[in-house]
Structure 1
Amino acid sequence: MSTLVSATPRALAPARTLSDVVHNCDQDDPLPSGDPRWQDLSEGRGDAAAETLVQDLQARQSEQIIHAAFVSHRGAGKSTELRRIAGLVGEAYHPLYIEATVEMDPIRIESEDLLLNIALAVEKEMRRIGKSLPAELLRRVEQWFADAIRSTKWAQGYDANVAAGIEGKFEIPFLGSMFAQAKALMRYESEYRTEVKQVLKKFPGTLIQNVNDFLEAAQQELGGRALLLMIDNLDRYEPSVIDELLVVGADRIRSLRCNLILTPPISLLLQPRSAQLDASYACYDMFTVRLRRRDQRYDEFDGKGRDLLEQVLAKRIDLDVVMPDKEVRDRLIAASGGGIRELLDLVSWTARFARLGGEKIAERDVEKAIARRKQRLRDQINVNGWWEALGHIAETKEVGDDDKSLAVLFHRLAFKYNGEGWYDVHPLVDELMRERRR
């Protein structure tokens, strides 16, 4: 769990050496709010998803609760935009940011996991800001949890450890409690986790009520600011997992009495499984940066996308020093397909290859990095049998009605662009398809 702090980030000097290029482009962490490396890409994306969400949050009526889904392709910069949103609405909201794949099982997540983590994150955050939740509330929730799972093997082992003094001393009793220790249990698959979850599933209403009691108690201590929960990284789970959590279980999630921003996989919006995602949540979809028109070649440019991505690089790299060749920049930008993470990863590996033979990035270094990426893409497509689905997208600029079309979107082998909302394959996938035809 982490909070979003609005302190001004320390500026990262643009890289003037190849090693610094690797460092500046290889950082996977989203940019904090106010970071000087942030670049407004809305004109290239052709949408105003983040800005619209900010406006809706700022216009919220006091009795209104916003449950939003912020949707985009993985690697499009969604986490950075979430942090920026938190900074922009900081006067009216107290944001609390939770990375699902960090705090919970990175493979499978259920409502019990999410609710438990929300309760613990809120309790910890309130202590951090010096406004602890009422002790009576904490004792009541702890007692309910202990009573509910007392018969499980894990609880019996826990009680035995406490009796033997193994639990140790904790500064805050609640943090050392069985309820809090269950968070670690829930993160990894085990016989104990299955047993505890089965018990909790028998008390869905009580669990939600306890979480809401935490949320309401926290809200009363925030001095007029509204609590805003941001659950990030949900798009890293398989769509079927998040469909079960957010769509099938929508009534449970929407019963939470706080403002909530979720990040489901884009495929749940494009091809609903059990029900429409936007029937339960206000959806704000953010496109990939468009570099060209749909009728142009993959190495051609049209619009502002190309220049905006060059500005992204210029805030991390002294381009005149380490990447002075415009053709080199164009090749890297075009090969990214408009994906921010794709671009930074390609540049990082290009700099690694360049270090072996010089002080500046040359065309040969770019092609080595691209060849490395293409090898991985080709193996991934071959193993999963995705050539036909990708060929359909490349030809029609639309996604098909099959699971493989959604899979290639999930794995960033195809992107959705602005304007008419058209799709296309990753430019390096197009190169692979042309090589196969030859």
Structure 2
Amino acid sequence: MALPPAPVTDLKAVEKVLSLEPLRTNEELDRFYRGEVNEVRGEDATERLAMKYGQAFDGAPYKTFVMGHPGVGKSTEISRLLRQLAGQYRGIRFSIASELNPYSFKIFDVLLLMMIKAVEESRALLGAGVWDSAITKGLLDDILAYFADEKITETKTHGADVQASAGVKAESLWTKLLPVFANVKGEIKFGTDRKQETVEYRLKRLPDLVALANRLIGFCAGSLKNIEGKEWLFVLEDFDKSGISGEQLQEVFVQYGTVFQELTAHMLFIIPVWMGYSQEASRLPFSKTLLPDTPVFDRFHVAHQRGRAAVRQVLGARVSPELVESDQAERLIVASGGNLRDLFSMMSDAADRALLRERDAGARQVNEQDVTKAINVMRREYLNRLGESPHDPKPVHWEEKSETLRAVYHGDPGSGVPGPGLYSLLRARAVQEFNGEGWFGVHPLVVDILKEQKQLEEDARGGTS
């Protein structure tokens, strides 16, 4: 889809240019990315990651976690990373939330998806015919034998088929494996009715699957190295999407974290920020890189002018200031807490309201009324998130949350120590984490809520009014 001219000067184009999708292509990065955000955050985490992967090239695989709140630009920063590493790496990038069933995926699903993606990318690079003739028959035999186990899969590839494959060309075997992979892709994305005994058996055979994955990924890696002199970098995104429970993530990365340690591949995982503050955080198998929030207030609740200016640059790259009445863009920036996803969502909402007024009264700009209504909608979303969450390891009631919020707001000693309250509030995005100094703050919309509920003084600063 062609990018619209930007910054847009027509209210009708605002929705399109404020797509909530991350920047992925070089053209999108060149047109819309603004480095001021990283400058105000304290450091450019992407530059540091690029250095780490650069050092790991031609050596031991480098694996890491990248974490941050939804809307801080994690996927966009991954696009920057892959562009910087383009001389050494090819990215195999995919979304766990869209490629797997986010409510029920298991560790073996992640492994299978990695294997399938490696094959798809490698075959596209070499050409299907060359790839099919290059892969060894022994490897294909062993993959078929794994899936022929009826306790592993319900596909129609049975043991007899594999036993009869002696002397058959690798290309013919590959035509047998293609439908198996197709069935597996369907099951790991849509399957919900797995028998417990099937899950347990697959987990029991994890060592076999890891060994197969390493052999298959190794073959794909060798193919890329021979052709381009590059290495694959697996980027597994969206472990922070809604619907994926904390229990699932703990199982994948803590209980079965050694699986990823044993894989001979460069890897990067995008995880939610709260996971870095959970009780199991110290057991995560790899280092963590934080993409912090962009401050619109400092720790003393005074306007953070550099932070606001950086966010204004991002918005101004997409939407002309002429479309918003004086001071109203500033209100949206403050209400967003520096979160680009929330900012774009509120700006789109306000623009839609202005369009309705344009139809009735010839409006040409987003005005104060439009912005106020958009902010109110977003504030209600934040209020809803402050309720009890089924994803918390144990119920955290409002009394505990409000006490933690007040402690964070006032900067009380120990307010940043991980615990159930902070864990839950980070998940709800009610608490933000800022730059290299590592300080926490309460989101401006949540400051509003605390004031409305008499948890903070009426004149407390740091809210939207």
Q: TM-score, normalised by structure 1?
A: 0.87
Q: Deviations over 1:211-267 (max 9, x none)?
A: 111111011111320110000001223333212211221211111111001112222
1:91 matched to 2:87? The reply is yes
Amino acid at match of 1:370: I
Query: Counterparts of 1:249 and 1:204 in 2: how far apart (Å)?
Result: 10
**1:137, distance to aligned residue in structure 2 (A):** 5.2
Identity of aligned residues (%): 21
**1:77, distance to aligned residue in structure 2 (A):** 0.4
In structure 2, do the counterparts of structure 1 residues 137 and 54 end up closer, same or farther at CA, with 3 Å as the change threshold?
farther
Q: Please name the residue that 1:113 is paired with.
A: 109
In structure 2, do the counterparts of structure 1 residues 344 and 173 end up closer, same or farther at CA, with 3 Å as the change threshold?
same
User: Structure 2 unaligned runs (5+)?
Assistant: 162-171, 358-362, 390-397, 459-465
In structure 2, do the counterparts of structure 1 residues 417 and 57 end up closer, same or farther at CA, with 3 Å as the change threshold?
same
1:333 matched to 2:329? The reply is no
Amino acid at match of 2:217: L
- Residue 384 of structure 2: which of 357, 379, 383 is its match? 379
Contact 2:386/2:428, CA 8 A, preserved across alignment:
no
1:16 matched to 2:9? The reply is yes
* Cα RMSD (Å): 2.6
Q: Please name the residue that 2:141 is paired with.
A: 140
Amino acid at match of 2:254: V
In structure 2, do the counterparts of structure 1 residues 138 and 125 end up closer, same or farther at CA, with 3 Å as the change threshold?
farther
**1:13, distance to aligned residue in structure 2 (A):** 2.6
Query: Counterparts of 1:274 and 1:293 in 2: how far apart (Å)?
Result: 27
Amino acid at match of 2:337: G
- Residue 369 of structure 2: which of 343, 364, 369 is its match? 364
- Residue 402 of structure 1: which of 408, 412, 419 is its match? 419
Amino acid at match of 1:310: R
Contact 1:47/1:287, CA 8 A, preserved across alignment:
no
In structure 2, do the counterparts of structure 1 residues 17 and 11 end up closer, same or farther at CA, with 3 Å as the change threshold?
closer
Query: Counterparts of 2:192 and 2:250 in 1: how far apart (Å)?
Result: 23
Task: Answer with 307-316 or 394-403: which moved more.
Answer: 394-403
Amino acid at match of 1:197: V
**Matched ranges for 1:35-434 at <5 A:** 35=28, 36-40=31-35, 41-131=37-127, 132=131, 134=135, 136=137, 139-148=140-149, 150-151=150-151, 154-155=154-155, 173=175, 176-192=178-194, 194-222=196-224, 223=226, 224-236=229-241, 237-273=244-280, 275-277=282-284, 280-297=285-302, 300-302=303-305, 304-320=306-322, 322-325=323-326, 327-357=327-357, 358-382=363-387, 385=398, 386-396=401-411, 398-399=415-416, 401-434=418-451
Q: How many residue pairs were aligned?
A: 412
Please state whether the residue corresponding to 1:368 is helix, strand or coil: helix
Amino acid at match of 1:17: D
Please state whether the residue corresponding to 1:154 is helix, strand or coil: coil
Query: Counterparts of 1:70 and 1:401 in 2: how far apart (Å)?
Result: 19
User: Structure 1 unaligned runs (5+)?
Assistant: 1-7, 163-169
**1:401, distance to aligned residue in structure 2 (A):** 4.0
Query: Counterparts of 2:4 and 2:119 in 1: how far apart (Å)?
Result: 32
Please state whether the residue corresponding to 2:22 is helix, strand or coil: coil
Contact 2:9/2:319, CA 8 A, preserved across alignment:
yes
In structure 2, do the counterparts of structure 1 residues 388 and 347 end up closer, same or farther at CA, with 3 Å as the change threshold?
same
Contact 1:239/1:265, CA 8 A, preserved across alignment:
no
